Amino acid sequence: MLNIPDYWQWFQQARFGQFIHWGPYSAYGRGEQVLFREHLDQQEYAENACKWNPQRFDAHEWAEISRRAGMKYGVLTTRHHDGFCLWDSELTDYTSAAQAAGRDFVGEYVEAFREAGLRVGLYYSLADWRIPAYWEGPEHDPKGWDEFQTYVHSQVRELLTNYGEIDVMWFDGAWPHSADRWKSHELVEMIRSLQPAILINNRLGQPAGDTSFSDELGDFGTPEHQIVSEAGRMWESCQVSAWRLWGYATGERWRPAALLLDMLVEAASKGGNLLLNVGPTADGEHPAEYAEQMKEIGQWMDVHGEAIYGSEAGDVCEFITYGRQTRKGNNLYLVIRFWDGRGEVNLGGLATKVNRAVLLTTGEELPFAQTEDHVLIGGLPAEPPTKLFPVIRLECDGPPQARDWAVDRLWEGNPRRMMPWAAARGTSVFADGKPR
Ligand code: GLC
């Protein structure tokens, strides 16, 4: 168990959050980085951005989709690398509030998500591609850099002053500048003084010369497009729900609901969160495919959520054949990704005594037989009881633990632990194990 303050426990409980990439780039339908990737004319892009005026944006609808999916928090791009602000900033007029839309989208989002009982996070890109000094850096343009960096700090102050309690500050875009250049330590100090309970991610820049994400700054890690646990701190894997981009893209292919759910289960099984992205349309709606998938996942979460929320890393035994495991207290949850219809599951290597087995999906108690090395769980229907992943809850006598031989996977641990197992059949290459 990680040693974290009480006011951060919600994040470990939550496991599932909503990432939202939305801005004037959504109108291009080619992702959030179209300005840079296509080297578009800056002036023209800005003119279009100022005309951006979504008519169908309803923050309550967004919040409802996330809540129904079983998500517990949101993270909205308040400003992406293109520099356009989704709130009423006093420091620039390049905002949704001052331009055609005439609305403070951040304010609407914060209010609606809070009202739906969700925690609120703000994504903020340090980078602003419009500003020459950002590209030049302090060596070549010390004055410009200084002004730009002050602008960044002041915007963060605005965001964390004007919208009540904010739960997560999600930075991005530190590249190519170091934490020193961004004055990230001072930034963190300011953030903590404004919002003592906030969580800050690990993208505030590296010590000079280092290009990986910051280990020094950051309350939680942000593995991107991958689900890898981080030792010693909380983490959240951010993932696209489609195949490519974060911002809205026409012609996108959608990852199936089973794959999205599997990412959530994998994150939980490794002790982390999934921040699943959606790129709403320019007009402000979540793509119908996405909304549909979130409904499906939400229905699954209604029944199986206890295997996810507040769960701990659960890779207790070898279980790759069937699925993944999570743990909570004395319970071991077997999340079955592949249903083979044999009517039974054989779990090898559980050392802890099982008191009861329940198919969470239907609530039915399952017959089982436990021997030293195996738990044979029976009574399973031939057809999977849900289109997504059925879950079996094993209620154990204590925190579930593996036998010595099963603690490590094949390629890990001391191989000599398996010697008695092999030697029990004999020692020779002959079928009966006996030497000739
Ligand atoms: C990457 C992308 C950026 C996106 C971010 C989300 O850094 O370049 O566009 O916002 O991932 O984590």
Domains with residue ranges and CATH for the chain: 6-307 (3.20.20.80), 314-422 (2.60.40.1180)
CB within 8 A of 304, min separation 6: which ones?
A: 335, 360, 361, 389, 391
Mutate to test the pocket of ligand 1, among 123, 128, 172 (most ligand atoms within 8 A of CB): 172
Question: Which H or E run includes 331?
Answer: strand 331-336
More confident residue, 231 or 118: 118
Query: How far away, in angstroms, is 411 Cα from ligand 1 center?
Result: 34
The residue whose CA is least distant from atom 5 of ligand 1 is: 172
pLDDT at 362: 98
**Atom number in ligand 1 closest to CA 80:** 10
CB within 8 A of 70, min separation 6: which ones?
A: 16, 297, 298, 300, 301, 302, 305, 308
The residue whose CA is least distant from atom 10 of ligand 1 is: 246
Cα–Cα distance for residue pair 129/41, rounded to 1 Å: 12
Q: Is 375 helix (H, G, I), strand (E, B) or coil?
A: strand
Query: How far away, in angstroms, is 24 Cα from ligand 1 center?
Result: 16
Across 321-345, average pLDDT = 97
Query: How far away, in angstroms, is 225 Cα from ligand 1 center?
Result: 10
pLDDT at 2: 81
Query: How far away, in angstroms, is 105 Cα from ligand 1 center?
Result: 20
Query: How far away, in angstroms, is 213 Cα from ligand 1 center?
Result: 13
Q: How confident is the model at residue 261 (pLDDT cuts 50, 70, 90)?
A: very high
- The proportion of the chain whose per-residue pLDDT surpasses 70, expressed as a percent, equals 98
Q: Which residues surround ligand 1 with Cβ inside 6 Å?
A: 32-33, 172, 224, 238, 246
pLDDT at 211: 59
The residue whose CA is least distant from atom 11 of ligand 1 is: 224
Cα–Cα distance for residue pair 388/169, rounded to 1 Å: 33
Across 156-185, average pLDDT = 96
Judge whether 390 and 339 are in contact, CB under 8 Å.
yes
Q: Please give the model's pTM, rounded to 2 decimal places.
A: 0.96
Query: How far away, in angstroms, is 224 Cα from ligand 1 center?
Result: 8
Largest Cα–Cα separation, the chain: 90
**Atom number in ligand 1 closest to CA 31:** 9
- Residue 207: is its pLDDT beyond 80? no
Judge whether 74 and 66 are in contact, CB under 8 Å.
yes
Query: How far away, in angstroms, is 210 Cα from ligand 1 center?
Result: 18
Judge whether 121 and 170 are in contact, CB under 8 Å.
yes
Angle at 228 between CA 220 and CA 8, to 5 degrees: 25
Strands 374-377 and 119-125, by their bridges, are: unpaired
Across 105-127, average pLDDT = 98
Q: How confident is the model at residue 209 (pLDDT cuts 50, 70, 90)?
A: low
CB within 8 A of 420, min separation 6: which ones?
A: none
Q: How confident is the model at residue 215 (pLDDT cuts 50, 70, 90)?
A: low
Cα–Cα distance for residue pair 202/264, rounded to 1 Å: 21
The residue whose CA is least distant from atom 4 of ligand 1 is: 246
**Atom number in ligand 1 closest to CA 77:** 10
